[in-house]
Amino acid sequence: WGKIGADKYLIDQVRARMDFPTTIRAVKSLTDKHPDAFAKIVEEKANGAALIATLKNEISGLIPVNPQTSKEMRIMAVSPEIESGNVYLPDPASCSWVSEFIDEVVQFPKAKHDDCADCMSMALLRFQTSRVGRLTDDYLTPSRTFAGGLDFELEW
């Protein structure tokens, strides 16, 4: 995730169920792919603390987060940003996973999986309290095509 002004952009995603070694490789790969991503928030639950401990001397910017509210409360806290059109996703024509991301978020909290919705809420909440994640205007080049702002309402 990154932001320019009030607009937030989902830059990339890995969508998979992974064991610990595969997760380590995925974090390293995304770090190499996006070297300007200085902050990487990691939920401390499950393998998060172990991931940070394993990579802290190799990858900088791993920030532990421990959400204090439910997933539903976090989504409710960021829903105005989504509904106002300030959250952008990559164009589904260039990123095949975007359609699944949207399906999961729209179906939250009744979706089979909620990892995408949960990660989105943590990233958007982080932007509300931190200056971390700012993109430069030149980041939005023709090679990085984003669809319009998310255009749906969350229904409970």
What mean pLDDT value characterizes the chain?
Answer: 85
User: Is pLDDT larger for residue 32 or for residue 134?
Assistant: 32
How do residues 19-53 score in pLDDT, each as one tens digit? 999 999 999 999 999 998 889 999 998 899 999 99
Find all residues with CB under 8 Å of 5, minimum gap 6, and list them.
Answer: none
| Per-residue pLDDT band at 101 (split at 50, 70, 90) | very high
Phi, psi of 77 (to 5 degrees): -65, -30
Identify the residue with better confidence: 102 or 134: 102
**End-to-end Cα spacing for the chain:** 25
Of 68, 79, 143, nearest to 109 by C-alpha is 79
Q: Of the given ranges (74-78, 105-109, 149-153), which has the lowest mean pLDDT?
A: 149-153
Residue with tokens 């791993």: 62
> Beta partners for 87?
8
